[in-house]
Structure 1
Amino acid sequence: MPQPDQPAPTVLTERTGHVLLITINRPQARNALDLDVATRLADAFDAAEADPAIRCVVLTGAGDQAFSAGADLKALARGERAIVPGREHYGFAGFVRHPMSTPVIAAVNGAALGGGTELALAADLVVAAEHATFGVPEVKRGLLAAAGGVFRLPEQLPRKVAMRLVLTGEPMSAQEALHWGLVNEVVAAAEVLPTAMALAALIAANAPLAVQASKRLALGIVDGDRPAETGMWDRSGEEMGRLLASADAAEGMRAFAERRPPEWTAR
């Protein structure tokens, strides 16, 4: 008897030479990130880091509309976070704090919002489609960009440019992101993945131990961590914990689910 169709995995992996392509495969949900996706991403990055034959990773999203819309707010509303039990130190999506020496390129094939922008911030290089957008709209939902966005944006962009993103929640175009140095290249949509893979091949052609050591030194990685960020992660977690307990956060997520403007009470 024919077997019922199995749902497609939410994360796909494909190896080409010394490059591992990881694809977030939830296009119907704009590649939003829930616990299942985070677990599979953490597994894929762990496997890449443990395999000496993998010299570069490319991370992208399925489809041509969204790289990732960030955290799945419906999952968040029911108490599910995209943080892997037992690997909490990897941070959101099993990646933003993942202690990787292997370089990672984000191939941003569409909207990268909230956690999607934070994935791009955590990557070493970014190739973006012409129609891609970047932004951290968490303040519109009563939350903050707690997966590194609030302090990595001012680190990677001029402060006033970063603060506009953080405080307004409004997005930035790929062209603006290129102008301010948030991305390395902007190309036609059809060229995003080929361009990222070609860039990965350039990296993979170099001596892998030298590349990994260079990344660790450039980012200040010591014993699998970035000590300069430790205090910011602690403060970010504390602030997010308080926000998640607020009436405004509950209202923001409820309003999102009900497709209506939120009514803030500052409580």
Structure 2
Amino acid sequence: MDSHDPVRTAEPRPGVLLVTLNRPHVRNAIDRALAHAMDTALTRLEEDPCLDVGILTGAGGHFCSGMDLKAFPAEGVPLVADRGLAGLTRARGRKPLIAAVEGAAVAGGFELALACDLITAADTAFFALPEVARGLIAAEGGAIRLPGRIPYHVAMEMLLTAAPLTAPDAARYGLVNHLTPQGEALEAALTLAERIQTHSRDAVHITKQIVQDTRGLDDHTAYTVQNPLSTPVFTTTNATEGATAFTEKRPPAWHR
């Protein structure tokens, strides 16, 4: 893969796909080329049976500064089909995706992180949604997701005043799973990926789907949606293996 490609992929450990946004000269701002390259990488994550977990990070000490405003007048918003910004913000991937954030995660870059399932961040990182200052809207998940992830009034201050949120404050509000020293967010993400990989793949996938499909529903409706997804899991080979391994006090040997 060319070092100048807008997105680089690697497999730092078996079953883990590392997707690195690679436009460090513009803090990994998203233009159309990067968006399509990232969509290709996420499609690979979903379709390759040997891959279990994805990690999204940025090159050059920053996660992502959002949409490339210089490219915007000519290219428009870099959406990919019905999958949203860079093929992620409106997608419904089965496999867990972890954001490893160093430096700035701003505007669309923050929306990419919000679309991930877990977030690790360096204690020097920061998040912001400054769209209103540019005459724009945080329309790729910022205005929808953020008020449900942190206290409402904190989210509204970010959305309406463009105020940034430091990673330590984001961790205090529960938005960041693991706060690390500068330069160590990726290692923390790899540790989370390894922990996910020790569990049954089908149980992980169905758990994520249930969360996606039932958010915002009342309990009765949520169970109605969940039951057809969860009930078959209890009759799988892996369910039997999990129970047997627990009884025999040994690690499970999952069927892949």
Counterparts in 2 of 1:216 and 1:190: CA distance versus 1, 3 Å: same
Q: Where does residue 259 of structure 1 map in the other structure?
A: none
The 3-state SS of whatever aligns with 2:46 is helix
Q: Where does residue 229 of structure 2 map in the other structure?
A: none
Gaps of 5+ in 1: 1-5, 229-267
Which whole-Å CA distance do the structure 2 matches of 1:45 and 1:204 have between them?
Answer: 18
Which whole-Å CA distance do the structure 1 matches of 2:97 and 2:3 have between them?
Answer: 27
Q: Percent identity?
A: 42
* CA RMSD after TM alignment: 1.5
Larger radius of gyration: 2
**How far is 1:227 from its partner?**
9.3
Report 1:114-129 matches (<5 A): 114-129=107-122
The 3-state SS of whatever aligns with 1:183 is coil
Gaps of 5+ in 2: 218-256
Structure 2: which amino acid aligns with 1:18? G
Which whole-Å CA distance do the structure 1 matches of 2:118 and 2:212 have between them?
Answer: 13
Which whole-Å CA distance do the structure 2 matches of 1:102 and 1:127 have between them?
Answer: 17
Runs of 4+ displaced beyond 3 Å: none
Number of equivalent positions? 215
Structure 1: which amino acid aligns with 2:64? S
1:26 aligned onto 2:19: no
Which whole-Å CA distance do the structure 2 matches of 1:144 and 1:17 have between them?
Answer: 39
Structure 1: which amino acid aligns with 2:192? L
1:37 aligned onto 2:30: no
Instruction: Give the alignment partner of residue 151 of structure 1, picking from 125, 144, 151.
Output: 144
Flag the structure with more relative contact order, 1 or 2, with Cα contacts below 8 A and sequence separation at least 6: 1
Instruction: Give the alignment partner of residue 68 of structure 1, picking from 64, 88, 97.
Output: 64
Report 1:33-182 matches (<5 A): 33-64=30-61, 66-84=62-80, 88-182=81-175
When structure 1 is superposed on structure 2, of 167-176 and 7-16 the one drifting more is 7-16
Once the two structures are superposed, what CA deviation does each residue of 1:30-60 show, in whole Å capped at 9, x if it has no partner?
0000111110111111111011211100000
Which whole-Å CA distance do the structure 2 matches of 1:19 and 1:159 have between them?
Answer: 34
Q: Where does residue 215 of structure 1 map in the other structure?
A: 208
**How far is 1:162 from its partner?**
0.7
1:198 aligned onto 2:187: no
Report 1:241-260 matches (<5 A): none
Alpha-carbon contact 2:32-2:78 (below 8 Å) kept:
yes
Once the two structures are superposed, what CA deviation does each residue of 1:157-210 show, in whole Å capped at 9, x if it has no partner?
111111011000111000110111111111012211111111111112211111
